[in-house]
A and B are shown apart, each in its own frame.
Chain A
Amino acid sequence: MVRNLESLIDRLWRAQSRDDLQTLSVELRDYYEIAHIVYHWVNSDGEQYGVGTYPMTWVEHYLENDYLRIDPVIQGCYQRFHPVDWKRLDWSSKAARSFMKEAINFGLGNQGFSIPIRGPQGQFALFTLNDTATDMEWVSFTERNLRDLILIAHFFNQKALEFEPNAQPDAARALSPREVDAMTYLALGYSRAQVADTLDISEHTLRAYIESARFKLGAMNTTHAVARATSLGLIVV
């Protein structure tokens, strides 16, 4: 069933548990019509957990064999912060090649794309998409959706951070005074040029405030962000 991406993001925003993230990973996978989506958290102590659509048998096999050590996706993305197509990783070792063959036997596709995420205090996560496709199809898919995928990856991570004990989600999401101003004028129907003019900043700086507010509000676009800020009572119009 094809769902609207915005409604999925809305439900992601309201997610209460890792189980909700699990459900949403399945629906997102279906929305994008690919084989798998996985969100994989690794903290600085090496603790890990994941949600996603990989077959349970593969996940168990992976954990039993401690594949974190040899998985080229982990090796190649850990400590990085740019998205990586799996073709760019180093699969030359014998261990990596046999790992790859096993993964495919367990039901993974031949293409992968991983978005590394850096959170506060050395927290690290990977948001991975996997599918069976040609190189051309895969590059076309990832290029077309990259902006959204990067955002969604980070929204998953925001939620995962929120579910940590000792999390302080409110502080991270409070809008700054300038962000409140920007969102308020947008909610009043001002154009970006008018808002920038009113706040005496350039449109490009306005865009940075909007980006920052949008991320705090877990929104895919500006309209969405304005609606959420209004419904949360963060701005009054």
Chain B
Amino acid sequence: MIRFLYADQLDAFPTLRDAMFRDRADQFKRRLGWDVSVDTDGFERDDYDDLNPLYVIWETPDGGHGGSMRFLPSTGRTMVNDHFAHLADTQISSPAIWECTRFCLAADAPPNVSALLMLAGSELMTRFRVTHFVGVFDARMVRIYQRIGASPEVLGSVGDGRDQISVGLWSFTEPALLRLQKRAGVSLEMSRYWAMRAFGDSDKTEWAA
């Protein structure tokens, strides 16, 4: 299932939390060779994990980490604005644009997990009137995004070949959402249900009842 968890809520899920930071180390340091720091626990964490970001995590049926991504509002500090503004040609700051980074898949993740994560991301867009995600990704991710039918539009890139790093934007049209659903293997009702569990529905008792 998909979990939407702010950093300060992760401690309630220690196994999932630790697996996510280890899988990030595995993906970004070992497999991709990015210049990221891994601590003595084997966790890949950066400054942006300290800003209480919102993580969208695919929790496997046995409670493990299947994949995840990290969101921050572009009105506060973001990686794109701090380090990649020259690629995007602008400081991207709007309540309607959230930054999505550290898109990570566990090494043994089944092929539908990337689509599941993106579908969950689209729930954030609908619920919170977010029109775009802005993110930083490398050449390998471009292929993954293409495969699930959720290609970002590249605003700017640096480097060549597999070392190319790009800044791009996502937004989902109705047909794109249908493709994502198909790839994810779950219905929109399901992803809506996960978001509802995290952020609520509308038939709870009044706060002052």
Whether the pair B75, A119 counts as a contact (CB closer than 8 A) is yes
Q: Is the CB of A215 within 8 A of B207?
A: no
Sort chain B's interface into a size bin: 35 or more
Interchain CB contact (< 8 A) of B131 among A81, A89, A211: A211
Task: Give Cα A81–Cα B54 distance, bound, in whole angstroms.
Answer: 9
**Which of B22-30, B89-97, B135-143, B179-187 contacts the other chain?**
B89-97
Is there contact, CB below 8 Å, between A80 and B200? no
Q: Is the CB of A211 within 8 A of B203?
A: no
CB interface residues, B 1-39, toward A, < 8 Å = 6, 8
B146 within 8 A of partner (CB): no
Contact A87 B205, CB 8 Å, known A81-B54, A204-B171: yes
- Report A-chain residues with C-beta under 8 Å of the C-beta of B209: 110
Option from A79, A82, A135, A211 in Cβ contact (under 8 Å) with B96? A211
Task: Knowing A110-B207, A120-B76, A146-B129 are in contact, say whether A85-B54 is a contact too (CB < 8 A).
Answer: no
Distance from B199 Cβ to chain A, minimum over Cβ atoms (Å): 7
Q: How far is the CA of A172 from the CA of B97 in the complex (A)?
A: 16
B70 lies within 8 A of chain A by Cβ = no
CB proximity to A under 8 Å, residues B148-177: 153, 155, 169, 171, 173
Beta-carbon contact of B94 and A135 below 8 Å? no
- Interface-side segment among A52-60, A62-70, A147-155: A147-155
CA of A83 to CA of B95, assembled, Å: 11
User: With an 8 A cutoff between CB atoms, is B204 at the interface?
Assistant: yes
- For the A-B complex, the count of residue pairs with Cβ-Cβ distances under 8 Å equals 118
Contact of B90 among A103, A119, A212 (CB under 8 A): A212
A14 to B204, CA, bound (A): 40
Determine whether B202 belongs to the interface, using a CB cutoff of 8 Å to chain A.
Answer: yes
Tell me the chain A residues, 194-225 only, with Cβ under 8 Å from chain B: 201-202, 204-205, 207-209, 211-212, 214-216
Q: Say if the beta carbon of B60 comes within 8 Å of chain A.
A: no
Q: Is A88 an interface residue (CB 8 A)?
A: yes
Residue in B95, B97, B131, B173 with the greatest tally of chain A CB atoms within 10 Å: B95
Please tell me if the beta carbons of B200 and A85 are within 8 angstroms of each other in the complex. Answer: yes
**CB-based contact B95/A154 at 8 Å:** yes
Minimal beta-carbon separation of A78 from chain B (angstroms): 9
**A111: CB under 8 A from chain B?**
yes
Verify A201–B153 contact, CB threshold 8 A.
yes
Q: Which stretch in A3-11, A20-28, A173-181, A226-234 binds the other chain?
A: A173-181
A88-B200, A208-B92, A211-B96 given; 20 more Cβ-contact pairs under 8 Å: A81-B72, A87-B200, A89-B207, A100-B207, A101-B208, A104-B208, A111-B206, A117-B95, A135-B205, A146-B129, A150-B129, A151-B95, A177-B89, A178-B90, A204-B169, A204-B173, A208-B132, A209-B90, A211-B94, A212-B97
Give residues in A with beta carbon < 8 Å to B: 79-83, 85-89, 91, 100-101, 103-104, 110-112, 117-121, 135-136, 139, 146-147, 150-151, 153-154, 157, 172, 176-179, 201-202, 204-205, 207-209, 211-212, 214-216
Residue numbers of B with Cβ under 8 A of A are 6, 8, 52, 54, 72-73, 75-77, 89-97, 124, 127-129, 131-132, 134, 153, 155, 169, 171, 173, 199-200, 202-209
